[in-house]
Chains A and B, each alone.
Chain A
Amino acid sequence: NAGVTQTPKFRVLKTGQSMTLLCAQDMNHEYMYWYRQDPGMGLRLIHYSVGEGTTAKGEVPDGYNVSRLKKQNFLLGLESAAPSQTSVYFCASSPVGNNEKLFFGSGTQLSVL
């Protein structure tokens, strides 16, 4: 039982490049989330999904897109990376209709030069 798996763990991009972060969960959870963590800022919600085929904006959605084509996967895309997107990205999941316990992946450290 792997839980929540994020790939890649580390990535360095040049300004303007694009990339996709993959999150996979094997717990059959309906809800999935993408957060970014910056020093002194705590975790901020980027986008979230309440089920397969649905997505919604969080607190800081600009510059990111997401897709939830399969229940177990939640993809976060950066179309044109900017230095301000240098951060640690965390994916999380939780059971349906329940914000009572989030399960987190181990994170992706992204640097945009």
Chain B
Amino acid sequence: SQQGEEDPQALSIQEGENATMNCSYKTSINNLQWYRQNSGRGLVHLILIRSNEREKHSGRLRVTLDTSKKSSSLLITASRAADTASYFCATDATGFQKLVFGTGTRLLVSP
């Protein structure tokens, strides 16, 4: 079964607005990562947050992690049409040797 589940499944916003998507997971993790997938392309790594971190920034991206609630959120500020893509969380669960991906959030940013 999937370790991570993203919410919402789809999100539509206007350019300049902020986009927030959430990820919930089931077991203890070493780290949680977010990936972007443009239509018809492979996934691209965006940001990683470790289990002992609560917040991390990278450019217009802000990720938070709440291990007590087993959840993470990805905030994209001042969104652009080029941010249109699917976003996936992936968890490196304790004791596993592989990442497990969630089902993704489809983000549409309209000009």
Contacts and interface: CB of A to CB of B under 8 A. Distances in A.
Contacts of B33: 100-101
B88 A104 contact: no
Contacts of A43: 43, 88, 101
Given A40-B103, A100-B31, A90 B97 contact: no
Contacts of A101: 33, 45, 48
B8 to A, nearest CB: 14
- The bracket for how many chain B residues form the interface is 20 to 34
A107 B39 CA distance: 11
A99 B99 contact: yes
A81 interface: no
Given A100-B33, A106-B42, A42 B102 contact: yes
A101 B35 CA distance: 9
Contacts of B90: 102
Pick from B30, B43, B48, B90 the residue with the most CB of A within 10 Å: B43
Contacts of A105: 42
Interface of B: 2, 30-31, 33, 35, 40-45, 48, 88, 90, 92, 97-104
28 contacts: A4-B42, A41-B103, A42-B102, A42-B104, A43-B43, A43-B88, A43-B101, A48-B98, A59-B100, A90-B42, A90-B43, A99-B92, A99-B98, A100-B31, A100-B33, A100-B48, A100-B92, A101-B45, A101-B48, A102-B35, A102-B90, A102-B99, A103-B45, A104-B43, A106-B41, A106-B42, A107-B41, A107-B42
